[in-house]
Structure 1
Amino acid sequence: MRSSHLQWIAVHIVAVCCGLPAAAERLPHNLILFVPDGMRAGMVTPGAAPTMAEVRDRGVNLRNSHSLFPTFTTANGSAMATGHYLGDTGDFSNTIYTGKPVAAQNGSVTPFVENNAVLGELDQLFEGDWLNEETILRAAAKAGYSTAAIGKVGPTLNFDHTSRTGAPTVIVDDQTGTDRGIPFSPELHPLIEAQGLPLVAPSRGENGKAGNAITPGTLVANIEQQAYFVQVATKVVLPLFKERGKPFLLVFWSRDPDAVQHNHGDSLGRLVPGINGPTTLAGIRNADDNLAALRRTLTELGLAGTTNILIAADHGFSTISKESATSPAARIAFPDVPKDHLPPGFVGLDLARALDMSLFDPDAAGALVEPGKRPRLASALLGTDPKNPDVVVAVNGGSDLIYLPKRDAALARRVVHALMAQDYTSGIFVDDALGAIPGTLPLSSIGLQGNARTPTPSIVVNFRSFTTGCSLPETCVAEIADTVLQQGQGMHGSFSRADTHNFMAAIGPDFKAGFSNPAPVSNADIGQTAAALLGLRIEAKGRLLGRVMREAMVGGEIPSHYAGVIHSASGPGGLRTMLRFRQVGDQRYFDAAGFPGRSFGLNESDE
């Protein structure tokens, strides 16, 4: 009892010293962070998503919202979890280059990090904490709060990835009940059984089927799996947290609408309707129903008046385009790729040709990729020795990461020149240490040069994006995507405004009511704001931090902010990478970037 009492005194002191609103002088309110994966801001309407629309309209509309680039899931999840930009967390995308083989993915050096075993191994490879920054969930657990993260595998565990026993933080995701899942604690196990819930999470079933070049993907939302997550949250975790009588932090990561937008079968090979068909609308409603269930439970338990809710999607979304008039890879006939379409791994294939290098497959034990073939999962190693590559291409979707392990500045210029010759390229960013290269901007300009423990990409290439035309053009954008998915399905990761404009809103006792916030905010701000609401003082290692969204809180004032544009010097063909941004103090928010006319959100007249 004495130890617990001292913890609450410490919380009180932190709240006062951190300058929180007056209400924080008592114990902080509870907090739910709800992440509707891939929710586009323009798709939240009273008809399509009534619960999210109500939170936005009755609470705080964070209308000037921003995903961090690259606009991928684990990357932006790391920003929410730590309050830092990606240059500090080192979670640069869903697939990264580790420089070391990852046994959990068959020795690949380009692992896909939405995997609990991979996350555990990354911690081992990078000094016990691959993100190199304490997460809000970990800090809350240390402060004695009740903590849980429930939902999509990968980003869910990343919120407290160094705690893998099921306590103090409750972790429930796709891998729960398997040998790769985090176990239920002795406290939680009987509570789950008492509610008649299975101890093994359901699979995605039909929702997980993406189809192929001739077979449409799924036509159903991720109903069953997410219903299980909601039941665990509402029947077990929230009642337990109420019984404990301590402040709590619950992260709920809804895989939908991301799941259906990626895998849907509504538009095989066609850009229209693309990701705006009936399956996507069902996924949006599924996520909205999950949020509604959480809110109903808060009311039933008498917790609604003491619980803040932050909603933040990790990124926006676009329809996949696979068409290019310049790519040599698009002229190669592959059995699983429609004629003249870009194959998965087109960046590696095109660079190998332009640089006259052999191509090896990091996901096939470094095997040589013969002419007319492609790497199995699309990532590539280029050079003469797969164990000592000159170029590594980590394939992700709307943008790719390119690493030069030997830090060869001359090779960097050759890679950039080759990329600029392709019509699918729209903007290139280069490691500051490699020097200024005409046509490119430095990684530091977009928060990718920081204190990361994982290898920093040498080059990040963004792909072309364009609107297909609809009443709200941002909701019907298509982008070139390096992916195993098909044209007409969904992807993200680009620097278009369609991918950076994620949905954000907030409601609760510490937030204003009926307030539309004009100031720019980002996913890094979500992490910092969550920490502030809970009165947590977290010592930062890196300097790329978000800010607390005080203007959204009761008594907060709107900060001064402005919009700006920067251009690179001209590169081959006069191409210049342009970045359109917003600014609050020294905090930069990214609207869109690329070559004017090739990225949605930039116009040719901007040049």
Structure 2
Amino acid sequence: MAQSHFVIVGLDGLRADMVSPETTPNFLRLAQQGVHFDQHHSVFPTATRVNIASLVTGAYSGTHGIVNNAIFEPAISPQTWVDLGKYDVVDAADAYYRGQLLCTPSLGEILAGHGDTMMAISSGTTGSNRLMHHKVRTLGGIGFSAHGIAASYPTDEAETVITKFGPAPAMGMPDSARAEYITDVFLHHLFPQHRPRVTILWFSDPDKTYHALGIGSPESLQAIQAVDTQLGRILDWSQEPDQADRINILALSDHGHVTVRDKVAVHEVLSADVTPAGRGHYTDQVAVVPSLTGEIHVHNHDPKLVARIAQWLMSQPWCGSVFTQGQNEVEGIVPGTFARSVVGNDHARSGDIVYIMRTDDERNEHGLPGSCYDDSGLPLGGSTHGGLSPYELQNVFAAAGPDFRAGHINPLPSGTIDVMPTLLHLMGYPIPPSVDGRVLHEALSQTADAPEAMAEPAMYGASDPDSGYCQYVETTRVDQTVYIERAWIEA
């Protein structure tokens, strides 16, 4: 039998409730032909670089160490956060951490160790592209970015692509032209030239268009249709007679979105109310790394100052869930907070306090539910992600090919962290003990020896009796893998 190949197609930011025959006919065709994972989950924070790291490591953010889209490391960047959206920053951070920016083995590393090749092609940020195979410069493989030769590796292959196809089109909203461009590059050059065992082909839309113009806007619907069209081309190619018995197509999104309805500059109100705080750098003893999910770093982890700030956060009308270092498996060290481990985000790089701007079910002008406070440069009416609302946590996944069942709806929850161990299982390679995800046995074509599994729901609460603040998290466990369903507060 021919060796199986796996092509992972990233539909960045696609919400599960925006899949329809009108917007995503090709995704639905893939799901109908193969397996539809209709209870698919992001990991927390629901951010692209976090979930790409989880995709290639099979691990939660607190295991692989990419604790948010940006990390706080003054030794690398003393004046602001470390922006992992830039390939050169990813390379510099990996050098600083002595090759351990990802603290667990990644798919590219494992494949290289078995003599296989991995390829990452992207129209998204150069940092996300590099995180897909962050050892590409030392272990080999292909990393091609639509942002140009400098962000791609190896250089001579990128130069060949530019000579053959021309430079990538400028980014648009929708980003349709670049989606078509990287699909052309994959179908007509990079795959036939290199035949990698695993390819990640990542579209920047609908995420980019959502951010700027909002979920449900006419442009965002066009963006979904455009990337779905390219998925259709890839699906058609995979079913050509010389490909059909060896190509598996996996299409997924990394997170959903919610609409920005109000803005708060957290470092400013924190400075006014409690203690001086810098935006991305220490002012006196406190630094805020802002976003929908933000982090507060306290110099020397001063427990009294951590408690003061956390208690203040829980009193703010714009603040949602709050997490601190755990005093046990559920409760944080500050009363009313959850332990960061409850949401898989407990790592030495995590903030002393991890907080989420408040979200709700309010509908935007296009009728789509889910809105939030935000602390970024995004416009009101645009959309964002990173938190724990179901609109961010519930994303999409379908897979078809010789290694997957046909015409099957998966009955169990699944998540970003399950893709890597499932692929390793299918390739017959050992799964590292660092993996938090599970093999999706129930979705595979060879299921004779598949262990039975059940979904076990759970709900956790934490409260501060002095302020009346209460927060909750709902999860589902399958075997040892935990999927977060939602979190909310009552105050």
TM-score normalised according to structure 1 size: 0.75
Deviation at 1:501, TM superposition (A): 0.5
CA contact (8 A) 1:68 1:590 kept: yes
**Structure-1 residue corresponding to 2:52:** 77
Tell me if the contact between 1:427 and 1:576 (Cα under 8 Å) persists in the aligned partners.
Answer: no
Aligned: 1:444 with 2:411: no
Post-superposition shift, 1:383?
4.0
1:275 partner SS = coil
Instruction: Report the alpha carbon displacement of residue 53 of structure 1 after superposing the two structures with TM.
Output: 1.1
Q: 1:283 deviation in Å?
A: 0.8
Deviations 1:438-469 (A, max 9, x none): 2111011111125x6xx222111112212234
**Alpha-carbon contact 1:439-1:572 (below 8 Å) kept:** no
Deviation, 1:311, is: 1.9
1:523 aligned onto 2:463: no
**Bigger CA radius of gyration:** 1
Alignment of 1:577-592 (within 5 A): 577-592=471-486
State the SS of the aligned residue for 1:590.
strand
Q: 1:82-121, aligned counterparts within 5 Å? A: 82-102=57-77, 107-121=78-92
Specify the SS of the correspondent of 2:432. Answer: coil
Report the Cα offset of residue 185 of structure 1: 5.2
Aligned to 1:30: 5
Contact 1:36 1:311 in 2 (8 A): yes
SS at match of 1:562: strand
Gap regions ≥5 residues in structure 1: 1-25, 208-219, 265-273, 323-341, 361-378, 385-389, 598-607
Paired residues for 1:235-384 under 5 Å: 235-242=188-195, 248-264=197-213, 274-300=214-240, 302-322=242-262, 342-343=263-264, 346-357=265-276, 359-360=277-278, 379-384=279-284
CA, structure 1 residues 538+409, in 2 after alignment: closer, same or farther (shift >3 Å)?
A: same
Residue 503 (structure 1) aligned to one of 388, 396, 406: 396
AA in 2 matched with 1:76: N
Where do residues 84-163 of structure 1 align in structure 2 (5 Å cutoff)? 84-102=59-77, 107-151=78-122, 152=124, 153-163=126-136
User: Contact 1:417 / 1:572 at 8 angstroms: preserved in 2?
Assistant: no
Q: Structure 2 vs 1, CA of residues 557 and 235 (structure 1 numbering), >3 Å: closer, same or farther?
A: same
The 1:301/1:481 distance shift into structure 2, 3 A limit, reads farther
User: Deviation digits for residues 235-271 of structure 1, max 9, x if unmatched?
Assistant: 10121245xxxx621101110000100112xxxxxxx
How far residue 349 of structure 1 moved from its aligned partner, in angstroms, is 1.0
- Deviations along 1:389-414, one digit per CA (max 9) or x if unpaired, are x2221112x21112223111111111
Contact preservation (8 Å) 1:382, 1:391: yes
Q: Is the 8 A contact 1:46 1:54 kept in 2?
A: no
Shift of 1:586: 2.6
- 1:420–1:572 Cα contact (<8 Å) kept: no
SS at match of 2:313: helix
Amino acid in the other structure paired with 2:343: I
Tell me the SS of whatever aligns to 1:412. Answer: helix
Match 1:483 to one of 364, 376, 389? 376
Structure 1 residues 237, 558: closer, same or farther in 2, change over 3 A?
farther
Say if 2:370 is the partner of 1:395. no
Give the structure 2 partner of residue 427 of structure 1.
321
Please tell me whether the aligned partners of residues 226 and 290 of structure 1 are also in contact (alpha carbons under 8 angstroms). yes
Q: Determine helix, strand or coil for the equivalent of 2:437.
A: coil
3-state SS in 1 of match to 2:454: coil
Question: Counting strand residues as a fraction of each chain, which structure ranks higher?
Answer: 2
Give the match for residue 145 of structure 2.
173
| Displacement of 1:227 | 2.0
- Larger mean CA deviation between 126-135 and 566-575 belongs to 566-575
Deviation (angstroms), 1:142: 2.8
Residues 1:203 and 2:100 aligned together: no
CA displacement at 1:583 relative to structure 2: 1.0
Residue 132 of structure 2 aligns to which amino acid in structure 1?
F
**Alignment-mate amino acid for residue 424 of structure 1:** W
Whole-angstrom CA distance in 2 between matches of 1:592 and 1:93: 18
Q: Distance in 2 between matches of 1:299 and 1:61?
A: 18
Matching residue's letter, 2:201: F
Aligned partner of residue 467 in structure 2, secondary structure: helix
Unmatched tracts of structure 2, length 5 or more: none
Amino acid at match of 2:149: G
The answer to whether residue 354 in structure 2 is matched with residue 460 in structure 1 is yes
Q: Deviations over 1:466-523 (max 9, x none)?
A: 22349x98x4211111111111011011110000001111111111111111211111
The equivalent residue for 1:221 is 174
CA contact (8 A) 2:47 2:69 kept: yes
**Which residue does 1:41 correspond to in 2?**
16
Q: In 1, are the aligned partners of 2:39 and 2:412 still within 8 Å (CA)? A: yes
Query: Conserved in 2, the CA contact under 8 Å of 1:568 and 1:577?
Result: yes
**Cα drift, residue 135 of structure 1:** 1.2
Distance 2:109 2:169 in 1: 27
What SS does the aligned partner of 1:164 have?
A: helix
Task: Kindly indicate whether the alpha-carbon contact (under 8 Å) linking 2:80 and 2:280 is maintained by their aligned counterparts in 1.
Answer: no
Do the aligned partners of residues 443 and 300 (structure 1) sit closer, same or farther apart at CA in structure 2, a change above 3 Å counting? same
Give 3-state SS (helix, strand or coil) of 1:32's partner: strand
Q: 1:43 to 1:558 in 2, by over 3 A?
A: farther
Indicate how the Cα distance of structure 1 residues 484 and 192 shifts in structure 2: closer, same or farther if over 3 A, else same. Answer: closer
* Counterpart code for 1:537: P
Q: In the TM superposition, what whole-angstrom CA distance separates every residue of 1:315-364 from its partner, at most 9, and x where no partner exists?
A: 01111111xxxxxxxxxxxxxxxxxxx35xx111111112232x44xxxx
- How many Å separate the matches in 2 of 1:484 and 1:191? 34
Question: Equivalent residue of 1:77, what SS?
Answer: helix
Q: Which moved more, 1:579-588 or 1:78-87?
A: 579-588
Which stretch shifts more, 108-117 or 531-540? 531-540
The reply on whether 1:548 has 2:439 as its aligned counterpart is yes
Is 1:536 the counterpart of 2:395 in the alignment?
no
Q: Does 1:492 align with 2:385?
A: yes
Q: Distance in 1 between matches of 2:184 and 2:402?
A: 25
The total of aligned residue pairs comes to 483
Give the Cα separation in 1 of the matches to 2:156 and 2:282.
Answer: 49
Structure 1 CA distance, aligned partners of 2:2 and 2:188?
25
Work out the CA distance in 1 between the residues paired with 2:88 and 2:157.
Answer: 24
- Which residue of the partner structure matches residue 595 of structure 1? 489
Tell me the secondary structure at the aligned position of residue 426 of structure 1: strand
